[in-house]
Amino acid sequence: MATTTAKKTAKKTAAKKTAAKKTAAKTTSKRTAAKKTAKKTSARVGGRKPATPAGTEELSEQTRLALYRQVVRLRKFEERAYRLFMDGLVKGTSHLSLGMEAIAAGVAEAMQEGDRTFCTYRGHAHTLARGVPMDGVMAELLGRANGVCAGKGGSMHLTSVEHGVMGSYAIIGAHLPIALGSAWQSQLQDSGEVTVAFFGDGATNIGAFHEALNLAVVWNLPVVFVCENNLWMEYTPISSVTAVEHPAADRAAAYGLERIVIDGNDPEAVHLEAKKAIDKARAGGGPTMFEAMTYRHGGHSRADPGTYRPEEEVAEWLARDPLPTYRKRLLDLGIAESALDEIDQQAQADVDAATEAAKNGPLPDIESAFTDVWADGGSSWRN
């Protein structure tokens, strides 16, 4: 009888242990799932966290104010461009950088005179950040003769060689091999100039992207590749058509480059990463690529309301708007609010003046259609 009771007790104890193991396994599984979810959320919101907490890097007040000035100017310009488009004054379409200004600001502040910028059709911010006069850019959007391209380029083809802005390119990824040519020239002439090529997440699935990366490393060219990953390639989420989580950074190793993902909404994080990459290229250290996580506030272009994006995603990123978040950081660091207000007011005055200059600019003469066709300015010698 005692033996039977002992066996029953042992059986119950074994059953309890088995149940405990199953419970522990379920708990572990839940923790693993939670970690995966947290990892995906972190990647979607801002990529890999910086090694140093944002705002604690050793940047001078002068540099911080310069970054803030850039972001404010770019934001106010894009807001005005949107309004002018809705008023029917902007000729053709336009692709705004609202919400993405920190990337253009951070990189431009790390560049020197003589360095060259290649960007996409979403190029207003990159053009202005390199010092191209605001009135010339605004006039170009309005198709006026006093625009930077005499009204013949418009929003999608802004170019100012004298400022190192080597063009905004409408064909996805097509400018990346051209940027290599610029970097190759710098290398051959030993000029010390660096080329920076910006591209969107969608360009990473284009053959020219891979060809450019490969040749840049093979020839050790002074070029920096900056992927502006705003999660959406026009109307399609990049994650739905790409095998890796980070379309640029996760492919870097295939070309012998370091995997770098940064918060593209943090002007200081962008500036520090860009400065490191540009200094390396200038010293003969070869190319670098980094992926800056960001988000456009509106649709792909002004004709696109962007309603296909999840409301929760939009709200999450709007809460990380680079302008108010950076302003708050500067105030927390002890920078006078009056100094920031002065920058805000000056930027608004600049935009107002540029708008008036653009509206009052003349329309291009019909004869101008035959200029800038060839390098000598005309085509008559070929006929």
Which residue, chain included where needed, has tokens 């259609």? Answer: 369
Distance, in Å, from the CA atom of 178 to the CA atom of 197, rounded to the nearest integer, reads 9
Any alpha helices (H) in 124-231, and if so which ranges? 124-129, 134-141, 175-189, 207-218
Whether residue 2 is contained in a domain is answered as: no
User: pLDDT value at position 3?
Assistant: 47
User: pLDDT value at position 94?
Assistant: 86
Amino acid at 348: Q
The DSSP result for 200-267, as a single string, is: EGGGGGSHHHHHHHHHHHHTT-SEEEEEEE-SEETTEEGGGS-SSSSTTGGGGGGGT----EEETT-H
User: pLDDT value at position 42?
Assistant: 40
User: pLDDT value at position 14?
Assistant: 54
Instruction: State the CB neighbour count (10 A cutoff) for residue 352.
Output: 12
Q: Structurally, how many domains does the chain consist of?
A: 1
User: pLDDT value at position 171?
Assistant: 94
Distance, in Å, from the CA atom of 70 to the CA atom of 267, rounded to the nearest integer, reads 10
Kindly report the CA angle at 320 between 313 and 172, in degrees rounded to 5?
Answer: 65
Amino acid at 241: V
Residue of 15, 47, 128 lying closest to 295 (CA atoms):
47
User: pLDDT value at position 293?
Assistant: 97
User: pLDDT value at position 118?
Assistant: 98
Whether residue 141 is contained in a domain is answered as: yes
For the CA atoms of 119, 120, 125, 126, the dihedral, rounded to the nearest 10 degrees, stands at 0
| Report field, pTM of the whole predicted structure over 0.85 | no
Whether residue 152 is contained in a domain is answered as: yes
User: pLDDT value at position 55?
Assistant: 43
User: pLDDT value at position 41?
Assistant: 36
Question: Domain holding 337: CATH number?
Answer: 3.40.50.970
The parent domain of residue 252 ranges over: 57-359
Whether residue 204 is contained in a domain is answered as: yes
One pLDDT digit (tens) per residue for the chain, 383 residues: 444 544 555 555 555 555 555 544 444 443 343 334 334 434 444 433 333 444 445 899 999 999 999 999 999 999 999 999 989 999 788 889 999 999 999 999 999 999 999 999 999 999 999 999 999 999 999 999 999 999 999 999 999 999 999 999 999 999 999 999 999 999 999 999 999 999 999 999 999 999 999 999 999 999 999 999 999 998 899 999 999 999 999 999 999 999 999 999 999 999 999 999 999 999 999 999 999 999 999 888 877 888 899 999 999 999 999 999 999 999 999 999 999 999 999 999 999 999 999 999 999 999 888 888 777 655 665 55
Distance, in Å, from the CA atom of 227 to the CA atom of 241, rounded to the nearest integer, reads 17
Query: How many residues can be counted in the chain?
Result: 383
Secondary structure letter of residue 49 according to DSSP: P
